[in-house]
Amino acid sequence: MKEGDVLLFGDECGIQAVPSRIKMWALKGQTPTIPSQGGREKINVIGAVEPRTGVVTSMFIPVLTAVVFLAFLKYVIRTHAHARKIYLVVDNAKSHHAKLLKPFLKLVAWKLELIFLPPYSPELNPAEDLWKFLREKCTHNTYYEHFKDKVAVVREFLVKCKNPSDEVRSRCHYK
């Protein structure tokens, strides 16, 4: 990497209507419960974190497809227009290798390069730590009367992450 380059780690995350329960405090002998409206509502988020600064670039998506990933790549380029070159590290999702992307990636090779993680290695991707942080702050052990309320909290969290954040940096293990 050279001066002015940006290194990003990308990944996708699903947010479901059903609350997620993790270890929590409760009185001895009483199992903690979280009320739930149930339902199958779900929304996905695609994002890229820059561990050096803690800046997150993200967007809500219906489902990850090659077309959606292409739109995200264009968004990343616009968002990081100041960068000399953008290196985006991603996993091996089918949509990341789609033939549809090849002409675009060739056209913008001077500005954007995809780097693929080894198969089955989420521990190497700081974006996974971002999603863990998001769930801790927004979804775990939390009841929302309506799914749209949960989405609004997630959106607010991601908006805050557009600015440099020491906490995101720390969570992504950048020192």
Domain of 149, CATH number, reads 3.30.420.10
As a whole number of Å, the end-to-end CA separation of the chain is 18
In a domain, 95, yes or no: yes
In a domain, 1, yes or no: no
In a domain, 85, yes or no: yes
Q: How far apart are CA 49 and CA 58, in angstroms?
A: 9
Residue-level pLDDT at 143: 78
Q: How many domains does the chain have?
A: 1
131-159 as b/e: b if 16+ CB within 10 A: bebbbeebbbeeebeebeebbebbeebbe
Query: Do 8 and 50 form a contact (C-beta atoms < 8 A)?
Result: yes
Output the six-digit token pair for 118: 């080894």
Residue-wise pLDDT tens digits, 79-104: 999 999 999 999 999 999 999 999 99
Output the six-digit token pair for 70: 């292409």
Residue-wise pLDDT tens digits, 33-57: 666 666 678 899 999 999 999 999 9
Supply the range of the domain harboring residue 89: 6-18+35-171
In a domain, 131, yes or no: yes
In a domain, 25, yes or no: no
